[in-house]
Amino acid sequence: MSAAEEKILKLQAALDGELDAAGMLDFERACAADPALAAEFARAKALDAALRRALSAEAAPETLCARIVALAAAPPARPSRIFSAPWRAMAASLLVGVLAGYGAFSSRGNARSEDRALVSAFMRTQIGGQSVDIASSDRHTVKPWLAGRAPLSVAALDLASAGFPLAGGRVEAIDGKIVPTLVYRRREHRIDVTELALTGGGDERVRLSRLDGYHLAHWSDSDRAYVAVTDLPESELADFVALFRAAANGEREEVKKPAP
């Protein structure tokens, strides 16, 4: 076994909690001495956390649970040396896998394509560790940078005093269109606010939803639509949206005022 293969096996064992205390201590020392290994372990943990959130989105139907439990409880029709000893453990593993898979797929069944794309973008940048293309808390830096790369105007608002500092922005390709995304911070979490072209008459009501373990908020104003995605609790997302809308309305009113 090569040294690279041994590193991968140890990383997987550490991620799955299969190392004993001494083994975990050795792995932590290896991470301290090898920044690349430490970074790979951090990415793997982030991916594992994201998948766990996604796979716990919805419970499977009771009929499906009952069928699998009955399968695990019944003795095998023809015991064999291969399956007689571990078959109950295998059935239990099958139960976990089926229920988790059901939650992952059924939670996305009725989601809009743009919502799925925005949640995927949130997960991708969360795992990759680069959530912004332009990193700045200065709205006068972020706004023109995005305006030069996306056809939509962007309402980069300063909400730092309310506990939601601006971290920067990035551009995303959603349904073949380039759109701007603002990134705000809240403690160790973040909120991505994407501005989309307004279709139809718009809906100024705030609609909250959940997809793959993340919370979303939809709303619109007179000329644009917004979608916010976050891993924060829904209550904090609602607070953010209220602050964002109030600041955006105040900015529009300021622009409408006649020059002295």
Walking along the chain (260 residues) 10 residues at a time, the average pLDDT comes out as 73 76 80 81 73 56 63 56 46 45 43 85 87 93 91 84 94 88 94 88 80 92 88 94 89 61
Whether 208 contacts 216, CB under 8 Å: yes
Could you tell me if 186 and 250 lie in one domain?
yes
Could you tell me if 163 and 188 lie in one domain?
yes
Instruction: Name the domain count of the chain.
Output: 3
d(CA 201, CA 223): 9
Which pLDDT score is estimated for 100? 43
Could you tell me if 30 and 122 lie in one domain?
no
Could you tell me if 119 and 99 lie in one domain?
no
Which pLDDT score is estimated for 15? 75
Whether 207 contacts 226, CB under 8 Å: no
| Owning domain of residue 102 | 62-106
Whether 14 contacts 24, CB under 8 Å: yes
Which tokens is 40 given? Answer: 């790979």
Whether 41 contacts 14, CB under 8 Å: yes
Which pLDDT score is estimated for 13? 80
Could you tell me if 148 and 226 lie in one domain?
yes
Could you tell me if 66 and 155 lie in one domain?
no
Which pLDDT score is estimated for 160? 93
Could you tell me if 129 and 214 lie in one domain?
yes
Q: At what angle are helices 35-54 and 113-128 packed, to 10 degrees?
A: 150
Which pLDDT score is estimated for 97? 47
Which pLDDT score is estimated for 64? 62
**Among candidates 158, 170, 161, 166, which has minimal Cα distance to 185?**
166
Q: Is 240 exposed, middle or buried (0-12, 13-18, 19+ CB in 10 A)?
A: buried
Q: Is the CA virtual torsion 231, 232, 238, 239 positive or negative?
A: negative
d(CA 106, CA 227): 22
Could you tell me if 191 and 147 lie in one domain?
yes
Cα distances (Å, whole numbers) of residue 174 to 112, 212, 239? 12, 18, 26
Q: At what angle are helices 87-106 and 62-73 packed, to 10 degrees?
A: 170
d(CA 247, CA 236): 17
Whether 208 contacts 197, CB under 8 Å: no
d(CA 179, CA 172): 5
Could you tell me if 192 and 88 lie in one domain?
no
Which pLDDT score is estimated for 202? 59
Could you tell me if 79 and 38 lie in one domain?
no
